[in-house]
């Protein structure tokens, strides 16, 4: 089978995408497929039309590749592709939209307030900031609505931290959210074709405090898979993750990030196309389930070709 691997692009997660793609290309080669590495640039459509691949493996992260843009193009060209479809990507990439969907679907997610930049610039939304403390309580987390990894995510201990944190978050997107901080264990559940893989727990090394950049960095964060959880907790976490996956209409594969706090699991976000690098969580979870990276890639291809099975 001729498989195009879409990678790179102009997203801030370009470097991660290139690492994911390199690994996928290797695995595809070993599985005996014809590999067509494709950088997501102005030549992309032309190359796809000329080369007529049987399938596209979307190994892109962040806006452009994970937000439905590439997927929309592939649908138009009639090329089957891996991972969630256009609508699910669009919902996952936008944390605010995703939280609305999850809440109306009964999926537990921390309380939040969302703002557009226009609201502050033109509509005087700053006047509403004063009531934040009552609504969400401090500390809280300020995030750009769209954007991957930890970029622009800030921790606000008190009201004084909020304006600066908002300016940072608005650097990445014109919509941001303020989210109630939930103290608890950081977990990730990867879902493959509707089936949960073993839960990964990330434990950032304490000396980094609330350094979001440290969260998924080997050496600054320890990862345990499967996470050591009580049976009831594991069931609740897996249940919440599957509910989130379904409420956002995901298919193929995705990764759900949660916090297990005192009141049970709370879903923070769903990554439509999680990283596939050698330090990424989805491959770790697959391996804990006894699935090699090649097997994982093969399974992802199968799911893309038989969407009904997802």
Partner 1 sequence: MADPPHRRRAHARSSDLERYAGLFAERTRVMRSSAMRDLMAVTAQPGVISLAGGLPDTSTFPPQAFAAQMTRIAQESAAEALQYGPTEGFRETVDCIVEVMGAEGMLPDPEDVIVTTGGQQAIDLICKALVDPGDVVICEAPTYPGAIPVFCSYQAETIQIECDEEGMRIDELEQTLERLDSEGRRPKFVYSVPTFQNPAGVTMSMERRRRLVELARSRELLVVEDNPYGLLRFGGEALPPLYQLDGGDFVIYIGTFSKILSPGIRLGWAVTPPPVMEKVVLGKQAADLCTSTLTQYFVREYFGDGRWREYIESLIDIYRDRRDAMVEALRRYFPPQATWTEPDGGLFIWATLPSYIDTSDLLAKALREDVAFVPGQAAYVDGRGRNSMRLNFSAGDEDEIREGIRRIGKVVAEQVELYGALTGGHPAPAVSQPEKEPENVVPFRKTGEGSA
Query: Does 150 engage in binding with partner 1 (CB under 8 A)?
Result: yes
Per the structure block, which two tokens stand in for 50?
A: 């000329």
Would you call 172 a catalytic residue per the annotation?
Answer: no
Would you call 255 a catalytic residue per the annotation?
Answer: yes
How many CA atoms does the CB half-sphere of 113 hold within 13 Å? Answer: 18
Would you call 275 a catalytic residue per the annotation?
Answer: yes
Only segment of 51-59, 96-104, 134-142, 164-172 that touches partner 1 (CB under 8 A): 164-172
**Of the residues 171, 203, 228, 306, which one makes contact with partner 1 according to CB under 8 A:** 171
Q: Which positions from 278 to 307 touch partner 1 by CB under 8 A, shown as an x/- string?
A: xx---xx--xx---xx--------------
Query: Does 221 engage in binding with partner 1 (CB under 8 A)?
Result: no
Query: Does 44 engage in binding with partner 1 (CB under 8 A)?
Result: no
Q: Which of residues 233-262 bind partner 1 (CB under 8 A)?
A: none
Pairing, β 200-204 against β 221-224? antiparallel
Q: Which of 90, 186, 257, 280 is catalytic?
A: 257
Would you call 210 a catalytic residue per the annotation?
Answer: no
Per the structure block, which two tokens stand in for 76?
A: 């138009």
The footprint of partner 1 (CB under 8 A) covers: 10-16, 22-23, 26-27, 30, 117, 120-121, 124, 126, 129, 149-152, 160-172, 213, 217-220, 223, 225, 278-279, 283-284, 287-288, 292-293
The catalytic residues are 13, 149, 216, 255, 257, 269, 271, 275
């Amino acid at each position: 089978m001729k498989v195009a691997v879409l990678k790179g692009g102009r997203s801030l997660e370009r470097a991660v995408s290139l690492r994911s793609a390199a690994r996928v290309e290797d695995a595809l080669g070993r599985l005996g497929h014809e590999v067509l590495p494709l950088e997501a640039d102005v030549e992309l459509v032309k190359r796809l039309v000329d080369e007529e691949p049987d399938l596209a493996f979307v190994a892109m992260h962040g806006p452009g590749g994970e937000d439905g843009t590439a997927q929309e193009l592939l649908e138009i060209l009639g090329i089957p592709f891996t991972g969630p479809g256009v609508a699910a990507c669009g919902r996952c990439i936008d944390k605010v939209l995703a939280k609305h969907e999850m809440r109306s679907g009964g999926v537990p997610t921390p309380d939040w307030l969302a703002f557009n930049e226009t609201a502050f610039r033109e509509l005087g939304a700053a006047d509403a900031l004063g009531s934040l403390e009552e609504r969400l309580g401090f500390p809280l987390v300020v995030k750009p609505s769209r954007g991957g990894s930890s970029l622009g995510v800030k921790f606000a201990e008190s009201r004084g931290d909020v304006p600066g944190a908002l300016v940072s978050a608005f650097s990445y997107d014109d919509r941001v959210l303020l989210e109630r901080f939930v103290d608890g264990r950081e977990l990730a559940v990867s879902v493959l074709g509707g089936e949960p893989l073993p839960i990964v727990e990330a434990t950032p090394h304490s000396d980094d405090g609330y350094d979001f950049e440290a969260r998924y960095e080997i050496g600054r964060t320890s990862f345990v898979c499967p996470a050591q959880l009580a049976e009831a907790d594991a069931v609740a976490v897996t249940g919440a993750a599957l509910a989130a996956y379904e409420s956002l209409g995901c298919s193929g594969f995705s990764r759900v990030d949660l916090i297990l706090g005192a009141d049970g699991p709370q879903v923070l976000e769903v990554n439509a196309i999680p990283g596939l690098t050698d330090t990424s969580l989805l491959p770790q979870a697959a391996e804990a389930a006894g699935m090699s990276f090649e097997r994982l890639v093969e399974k992802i291809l199968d799911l893309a070709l038989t969407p009904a099975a997802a």
